[in-house]
Amino acid sequence: MTAVLLMTGIGNAQEQVTLAPLKASFHVAPHGNDSNPGTAVAPFATVVGARNAVRAQIAAGLEHDVLVIIRAGVYSQTETLTFGPADK
């Protein structure tokens, strides 16, 4: 299983990314909300939100790759972003 982080676009430009389809993917955007489901239309606001969603899928028995798309923008953080054994 592989989690891939992809950062796209520059500035406020609308970006379009074409990749091989995966069974699950999450989106992060500056205008998002971590209460959202992490879709392209309703993205997470933070990488932490996406990390937590991936962790939930791993805990539920994830058996396929996950793609996390991070859209262009500024992401302020109030805590250190960490990855550990729960992210394998």
Rounded mean pLDDT for each run of 10 residues along the chain, 88 residues in total: 52 52 78 96 95 92 87 89 85
The model carries a pTM of 0.73
Domain boundaries 3-9+20-74, CATH class: alpha beta
Distance, in Å, from the CA atom of 33 to the CA atom of 50, rounded to the nearest integer, reads 11
Res 73: pLDDT: 92
Res 54: pLDDT: 93
Res 10: pLDDT: 47
Distance, in Å, from the CA atom of 43 to the CA atom of 69, rounded to the nearest integer, reads 9
Strand pairing category for 24-28 and 3-8: unpaired
Query: Residue 17, exposed/middle/buried by CB under 10 A (0-12, 13-18, 19+)?
Result: exposed
Q: Which residue has the tokens 């550990």?
A: 84
Res 66: pLDDT: 86
Res 86: pLDDT: 83
